[in-house]
Amino acid sequence: MNLIVFGVNHKTAPVEIREKLSISDKLVKEHLRMLNSHAPDIHEKVILSTCNRTEIYARVSDVKKGVESLKRFLCNYHEIEADTLKKYTYLLVLEEAVEHLFKVAASLDSMIVGEPQILGQVKVAYKAARELESTGTVLNRLFEQSFTVAKRVRSETGIAENAVSISYAAVELAKKIFGDLENKTVLLIGAGEMIELAARHLVSQGVETILVSNRTYERAVDLATEFNGEAVKFDKLHDELKRCDIVISSTGAPHFVVRKDLAVKVIAERNNRPMFFIDIAVPRDIEPSVNDIDNCYLYDIDDLRNVVEANLVERAREAKSAEEIVVSEVSQFFIWLDHLEVAPAIVSLRRHVESIRRKELDKTLRRLEGVSEKDKELIEKMTVSMINKVIHAPVVNLKKKAETEEGHTYLKALRYLFGLKD
């Protein structure tokens, strides 16, 4: 039995290649059906396709034949030349394949280590394959265990605790100042991508009141509608500031949108209740001296980058602990797999030695003359007893070793030494 992973990811292929090989969620089942029909040598398969990877996880009898089938499939259905595909794909077998999936599910193989989205994508891919009955005993166990690995990594390490995007870092800083954000009012100045990302993070943290102000009022309305917020006309911005606990600004304006004198007035109108300003614009939107005002906390994009860089270092440190979990779980998977394979291996061994015994016995009996039926029976019993005693120790020891991390090695050795094919 062979487990393989064949595909491309952000480490091996540029975006133009990943785009060609990308398979949307709507088409994954169609592609699985194609593989089921045209690749009978691939017994189980799961297709995982995201913006950063397209990978096929499979159980195959023969690695070479299985990979050739997958290559033909990707070339035929994605209109890509075989020579081009060869430059960017990778093949992982057995332990490497299992370790890879566990790292993918735990977000140790992501472009941003620790990002949570990939686990959900792995679960969706697995669900699609199960619904089409494209998985069996082995891949079912493998993917279910990958979810356990991801859960252990998140609960036993701090890999997901530190913000590694500017927008997320901004929200994390707000939490440190205010603690609970649920009852806070947030003003978003601008409506670009970073502002939108910040809004998503804020909503995920329980913020319910979001105001959006933008020079193009229609864009403010669109973004506010998306988050059940309220659009504010840009020329009325100063009137609304006193309502806001958190202000996040990214407009691209050539001058300050919020000056110190305005902030002094606003904080007085708020009876000195704290305000948190996050300026992620270049050039800056908020006058730096706002930070000198009591109960005003101002962070600009450089402050946030410093937070992100420190957090990336911390995530790298936590990733080492996470990889120890992966190594342990890989060993556990192969202990399970060895138990699954040990019975067929023993049956194969008995069949093999019985075939040899029968051939040699028949050959010998043909050469002997005048041997009675009773003597033939005694000779046969003797050969059976000899064979059973010869294989007794290997069988007992193999069963014992199947319960250890060395089991897979011993199973492979048994198959190799006795020339077992199945």
d(C-alpha 217, C-alpha 195), whole Å? 15
In a domain, 317, yes or no: no
DSSP 258: B
- The pLDDT of residue 154 is 86
In a domain, 249, yes or no: yes
The enclosing H or E element of 305 equals helix 301-367
In a domain, 195, yes or no: yes
Query: What residues are labeled active site?
Result: 51
CB contact set of 390 (below 8 Å; sequence gap of 6+): 353
Q: Are strands 2-9 and 90-93 parallel, antiparallel or unpaired?
A: antiparallel
Q: What is the mean pLDDT of residues 239-247?
A: 91
Instruction: Examine the fold and report which residue of 161, 183, 217 is the final residue of a domain before the chain moves on.
Output: 161
| Structure confidence at residue 369 as a pLDDT band (50, 70, 90) | confident
Instruction: Examine the fold and report which residue of 126, 161, 196 is the final residue of a domain before the chain moves on.
Output: 161
- The pLDDT of residue 283 is 81
Say which CATH number the domain at 247 has.
3.40.50.720
Examine the domain organization and report whether 104 and 27 are in the same domain: yes
| Structure confidence at residue 422 as a pLDDT band (50, 70, 90) | low
- The pLDDT of residue 295 is 93
- The pLDDT of residue 325 is 92
Instruction: State which residues form the domain around 109.
Output: 2-161
Cβ atoms 25, 31 nearer than 8 A: no
Residue among 208, 232, 228 at smallest CA distance from 220: 232
d(C-alpha 340, C-alpha 358), whole Å? 29
DSSP 215: S
Examine the domain organization and report whether 147 and 24 are in the same domain: yes
Helix (H, G, I), strand (E, B) or coil at 325: helix
Examine the domain organization and report whether 122 and 176 are in the same domain: no
How many domains are there within the chain? Answer: 3
Examine the domain organization and report whether 131 and 177 are in the same domain: no
Helix (H, G, I), strand (E, B) or coil at 378: helix
In a domain, 328, yes or no: no
Examine the domain organization and report whether 130 and 189 are in the same domain: no
- To which residue do tokens 């989205």 refer? 117
128-176: per-residue pLDDT in tens?
999 998 988 889 999 999 999 999 988 888 777 655 567 777 777 787 7
In a domain, 325, yes or no: no
Q: What is the mean pLDDT of residues 309-327?
A: 81
Examine the domain organization and report whether 396 and 289 are in the same domain: no
Q: For the full predicted model, state whether its pTM sits above 0.75.
A: no
pLDDT surpassing 70 at residue 388: yes
- The pLDDT of residue 191 is 82
d(C-alpha 62, C-alpha 83), whole Å? 22
* Averaged confidence pLDDT in the chain: 85
Residue among 3, 7, 13 at smallest CA distance from 99: 3
Say which CATH number the domain at 66 has.
3.30.460.30
197-209: per-residue pLDDT in tens?
788 888 888 888 9
d(C-alpha 260, C-alpha 246), whole Å? 16
Instruction: Examine the fold and report which residue of 145, 161, 177 is the final residue of a domain before the chain moves on.
Output: 161
